[in-house]
C-alpha cells in the first residue's frame, strides 16, 4: 500500500481572462483603488468565464444609503475612493435621507453624519449629482447597443429592456469598480446571444395602468432569473418603469421584451421556451397579497423615483385636498428643478423628498404600516423596513384619503 500525492482536479475550468498591456500596467502601478477595482472585475470575469474586459460608456452605482451598507460599506468607500476618479459618466442610487429635509424625516444625528461622509466619498470620485434609482430620467441614458455597468436591479432591467443598452445585474462594489476603471467583464447580457427570452407571457385581456406592478411580480416569480417576453401589451415609459421594478424585485429578472414595443424584441424567444397565459385573477391575487392593512401611518409614492409626468398627475389630484396620513413623494432633485408649481402643490399636502426613497430610509423608526402604489416597495418593505403594506394604484390611494 502506497500513499502518494497528486493534485486532484474535480471540475472543469475555463481559460483565465486576458488583459491588455494597459490593464496589466494598471494592475501593477495603479492607485490602491484602481488595483482593487481591477482585481475585483478580473475575479468576476473568471467566475463567469469572460475572455476579456470591455469598455463601458456609463455606470450606475448602488449602495449609498448608510442604512443599507452600514459601517463596513462606509469604510470600504473611504479606502477605494482615495485618489480615484470616475472614468465614465456615473450616477449613484438614493441615500437614506433628503440632503436638505433630513430633519423632517426624523433621521438621527449619527445617521446624518455618516450619510454625509458617504456622499463625500462618492463626490470625490466625480459622480453626477444624482442620488436616484432612475438615472435614465436625469441624463444617464445610454442608447441601443451601448455597453454599460449598472447596479440597482430596477434600473438594470430598464436599461437592458427599454433602452437596449447592455449590462449585467451588477452589485454596488462591482459597479463602483467599473466607474473607477471604465471596464466590465464581457459575459452574460453583454453578448447578443444571451438576450433572447425564455418565457412567453400572453395576456387574455387589455392591461390597465394599475396592473403593471402586479404583472411584473407575477411574471418575475415565474421567471426567477429567466427572461420574459410579453405579447399584446401597450405601455408608456412610466408603465415600463413600474413593470421593470416589479419584475426585478419578485424575481431576479434582468431584461424583458415586449412584442412590437421594446427595441430588441425581434431577438425573440429561445427555441425551447415556456408559455404562460396570464389571467386577470392572477394579478388580483398578487395585489390582494400586498394589501393587508387599511390604516397606514404613511403613504409613499416614488418607488422607483417619480417622473415629471407622474409628479404632474399627483399634483393635479392633490388639488382636491389631502386628509390622509403623512404623505411622501420621492424623486430626484434634477427632476424637480423645472417644475416649481408641481413641487409647491405636492409640498402643500405632503413631503416631496429628493435624494432618497422609502425603502432605504429608516422609516421603521416611526411607522409600522405604509400605503404605496409600488410593487417593488410592497415586496421589500416587510423585510427591509419591518412594515405592513397597503397597495393600490396612485389614483385610488389619493382618492381614498381625500
Partner 1 sequence: MILKGRGLSKGIGEAELIVSSEPVSFLGGIDAETGRILDEKSDVFGESIAGKVFAFPSGKGSTVGSYVIYGLALNGCAPVAILNERSEVVVTVGVIISEIPLVDCLDLSLLRTGDRVKVDGSEGSVDAEGVEEIHVVTSFLENDGRILLLKRSELVGTYQGLWAGVSGYLEKGDQAYERAVTEIAEEVGISNPKLLKEGEPVCSRDEKTLWVVHPFLFHVDSPEVKLDWEHKEFKWISPSQIPEFETVPRLPKTFGAVVQGLRPSDGET
Interface contacts to partner 1, rule CB under 8 A? 1-13, 36, 39-40, 43-44, 46-47, 62-63, 68-73, 75-76, 80, 151, 171-174
Nearer to partner 1, 18 or 294 (CB): 18
Min dist. Cβ of residue 286 to partner 1 (A): 22
Nearer to partner 1, 296 or 304 (CB): 304
Min dist. Cβ of residue 185 to partner 1 (A): 11
Nearer to partner 1, 64 or 314 (CB): 64
Residues 6+ apart with CB under 8 A from 29: none
Residues 331 and 305: beta-carbon distance below 8 Å: yes
Distance of CA 382 to the CA centre of its chain: 18
Min dist. Cβ of residue 384 to partner 1 (A): 10
What phi, psi does 90 have (nearest 5°)? -135, 135
CA 7 – CA 4 distance, rounded (Å): 10
Min dist. Cβ of residue 383 to partner 1 (A): 9
Nearer to partner 1, 75 or 103 (CB): 75
Min dist. Cβ of residue 17 to partner 1 (A): 11
Min dist. Cβ of residue 221 to partner 1 (A): 17
Nearer to partner 1, 10 or 338 (CB): 10
Min dist. Cβ of residue 233 to partner 1 (A): 30
Residues 291 and 285: beta-carbon distance below 8 Å: no
Residues 207 and 215: beta-carbon distance below 8 Å: yes
Q: Which three cell numbers stand for residue 135?
A: 438615472
Min dist. Cβ of residue 323 to partner 1 (A): 38
Q: Which residues pair with 171 in a beta bridge?
A: none
Q: Which three cell numbers stand for residue 205?
A: 385581456
129: nearest Cα among 95, 101, 155, 170: 95
270: nearest Cα among 249, 248, 255, 283: 255
Instruction: Please count the other Cβ atoms lying within 10 Å of the Cβ belonging to residue 341.
Output: 9
CA 79 – CA 33 distance, rounded (Å): 7
Nearer to partner 1, 385 or 398 (CB): 385
Residues 302 and 309: beta-carbon distance below 8 Å: no
- In whole angstroms, how far apart are CA 116 and each of 66, 123, 328, 329? 9, 10, 22, 22
351: nearest Cα among 373, 334, 336, 362: 336
Nearer to partner 1, 43 or 144 (CB): 43
Residues 305 and 132: beta-carbon distance below 8 Å: yes
Nearer to partner 1, 62 or 331 (CB): 62
| Apex 387 CA angle, 386 and 391, nearest 5 | 150
| Apex 388 CA angle, 367 and 380, nearest 5 | 100
Nearer to partner 1, 152 or 211 (CB): 152
Nearer to partner 1, 67 or 166 (CB): 67
CA 380 – CA 386 distance, rounded (Å): 9
Q: Hey, is 387 helix, strand or coil?
A: coil
Min dist. Cβ of residue 6 to partner 1 (A): 7
Min dist. Cβ of residue 13 to partner 1 (A): 5
Amino acid at each position: 500500500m502506497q500513499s502518494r500525492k497528486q493534485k486532484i482536479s474535480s471540475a472543469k475550468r475555463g481559460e483565465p481572462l486576458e488583459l491588455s498591456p494597459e490593464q496589466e500596467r494598471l494592475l501593477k502601478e495603479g492607485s490602491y483603488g484602481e488595483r482593487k477595482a481591477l482585481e475585483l472585475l478580473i475575479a468576476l470575469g473568471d467566475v463567469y468565464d469572460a475572455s476579456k474586459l470591455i469598455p463601458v460608456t456609463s455606470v450606475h452605482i448602488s449602495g449609498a444609503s448608510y442604512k443599507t451598507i452600514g459601517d463596513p460599506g462606509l469604510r470600504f468607500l473611504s479606502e477605494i475612493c482615495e485618489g480615484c476618479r470616475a472614468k465614465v459618466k456615473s450616477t449613484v442610487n438614493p441615500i437614506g435621507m433628503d440632503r436638505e429635509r433630513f430633519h423632517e424625516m426624523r433621521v438621527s444625528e449619527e445617521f446624518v453624519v455618516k450619510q454625509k461622509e458617504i456622499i463625500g466619498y462618492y463626490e470625490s470620485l466625480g459622480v453626477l449629482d444624482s442620488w436616484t434609482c432612475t438615472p435614465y430620467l436625469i441624463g444617464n441614458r445610454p442608447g441601443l447597443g451601448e455597453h454599460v455597468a449598472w447596479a440597482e436591479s430596477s434600473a438594470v432591467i430598464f436599461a437592458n429592456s427599454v433602452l437596449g443598452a447592455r449590462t449585467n445585474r451588477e452589485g454596488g462594489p462591482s459597479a463602483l469598480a467599473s466607474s473607477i476603471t471604465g471596464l466590465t467583464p464581457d459575459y452574460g447580457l453583454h453578448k447578443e446571444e444571451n438576450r433572447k427570452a425564455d418565457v412567453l407571457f400572453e395576456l387574455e385581456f387589455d392591461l390597465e395602468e394599475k396592473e403593471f406592478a402586479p404583472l411584473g411580480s407575477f411574471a418575475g416569480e415565474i421567471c426567477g432569473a429567466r427572461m420574459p417576453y410579453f405579447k399584446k401589451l401597450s405601455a408608456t415609459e412610466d408603465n415600463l418603469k413600474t413593470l421593470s421594478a416589479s419584475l426585478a424585485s419578485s424575481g431576479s429578472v434582468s431584461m424583458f421584451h415586449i412584442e412590437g414595443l421594446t427595441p430588441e424584441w425581434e431577438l425573440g424567444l429561445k427555441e425551447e421556451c415556456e408559455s404562460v397565459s396570464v389571467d386577470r385573477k392572477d394579478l388580483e391575487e398578487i395585489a390582494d397579497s400586498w394589501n393587508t392593512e387599511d390604516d397606514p401611518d404613511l403613504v409613499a409614492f416614488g418607488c422607483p423615483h417619480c417622473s415629471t409626468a407622474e409628479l404632474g398627475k399627483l399634483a393635479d389630484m392633490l388639488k382636491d385636498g389631502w386628509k390622509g396620513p403623512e404623505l411622501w413623494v420621492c424623486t430626484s432633485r434634477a427632476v424637480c428643478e423645472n417644475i416649481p408649481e408641481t413641487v409647491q402643490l405636492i409640498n402643500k399636502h405632503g413631503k416631496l423628498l429628493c435624494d432618497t426613497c422609502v425603502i432605504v430610509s429608516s422609516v421603521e423608526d416611526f411607522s409600522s404600516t405604509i400605503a404605496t402604489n409600488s410593487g417593488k416597495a410592497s415586496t421589500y418593505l416587510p423585510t427591509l423596513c419591518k412594515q405592513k403594506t397597503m397597495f393600490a394604484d396612485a389614483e385610488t390611494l389619493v382618492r381614498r384619503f381625500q
